[in-house]
Structure 1
Amino acid sequence: MNELKEFLLRKCNQVIDEKLESIQQGIRSYQLDLVTETKSSAGDKHETGRAMLQLEMEKLGQQYQEVLAQKDTLLKIDISLKTKIQLGSLVCANGVFYFLGTSLGKIKIKEETIMVISIHSPIGRLLLGKQNEDSFLFNHKNIQIEQVF
């Protein structure tokens, strides 16, 4: 099972790296647009265009910082087998697999779908500290922990 968790961790890092690269490309594109806007425009329209580009760059900068924080979380993951659920645990509950890492959503591995969730998500907070055969309520449903890996 550690091989699966290692694979999941590598896949999560790959997804995060792709997000970082995409954001960096967006920032570079806006920087180029900003230079072009400076050379080709004059007056109020020019200032509005520059302001819009700078706002978009700021948004991308914030997204970049958020994704970097996700990458930092992944660096803290210990995938060794534990009896209690914590960061890095793979959990089967009600037939659904959860990997506690960072919020990335569904990752498909062969025929199995694994939900990669943050420990700060609503279900992540409820899972933390639980162990095999514990149960809890989530969205008015009883969730039974079948296995912690």
Structure 2
Amino acid sequence: MDKSRILEIIKNKITEKIQSFENLIAETRASNNDTKSSMGDKYETGREMLQQEINNLQRQLNETLNQQALIQKISPEPSSKAQNGALVKTDKGLFYISASVGEITYDNQKIMTVSDESPLVIAMSGLSSGHTFSINNINQTIEEIW
């Protein structure tokens, strides 16, 4: 498995999310400016709702920027145990421990990206090939780690 290529896919996905949030924030700010009027309280409520939406988008953008910072620190070097930056194959699936950006496809294989704070990673943390762990009463065996 080429972990450096998988890392690039994740970096690109995060960069796309950042650009999307920045565009949404800019569009929402522009529509917020368009609602300025002397019509009174009715428009003030609309402007407040738009401001809340901007704040929500800004929070999501900040979370994505934190993911980007985290992913910059991950090395594509091989791992011998389940830890941040490891690609772990269990009998139930393939997991890349990094920033959680959902499912990605690499070399016609589906890889689920998971945060090191997720219950799955906490359950398998520090284990190596051949070890079994349980999450939600389902046993999984680690087959391989890159």
93, 100, 105: which one aligns with 2:102: 105
For 1:55, which of 40, 48, 52 is the aligned residue?
52
2:32 corresponding residue in structure 1: 34
Partner of 1:9: 7
When normalised by structure 1's length, the TM-score is 0.93
Q: Which amino acid aligns with 2:103?
A: K
Count of residue pairs the alignment pairs up: 146
Give 1:126's aligned amino acid.
A
Query: Which stretch shifts more, 41-50 or 14-23?
Result: 41-50
Q: 2:38 & 2:97 partners in 1: Cα distance?
A: 50
Query: How far apart are 1:82 and its partner, in Å?
Result: 2.2
What's the C-alpha RMSD, in Å, of the aligned pairs? 1.2
Unaligned stretches of 5+ residues in structure 2: none
Identity of aligned residues (%): 32
Query: In the aligned structure 1, how far is the partner of 2:38 from the partner of 2:8?
Result: 46
Structure 1 stretches (4+) deviating beyond 6 angstroms? none
1:120 aligns with 2:117: yes
Q: Name the TM-score, length of structure 2 as normaliser.
A: 0.95
Residues 78-118 of structure 1: CA deviation (Å, up to 9, x unaligned) = 22112122111011101511110111121112321111111
Partners of 2:82 and 2:121 within 8 A in 1: no
1:132 maps to a residue whose letter is: S
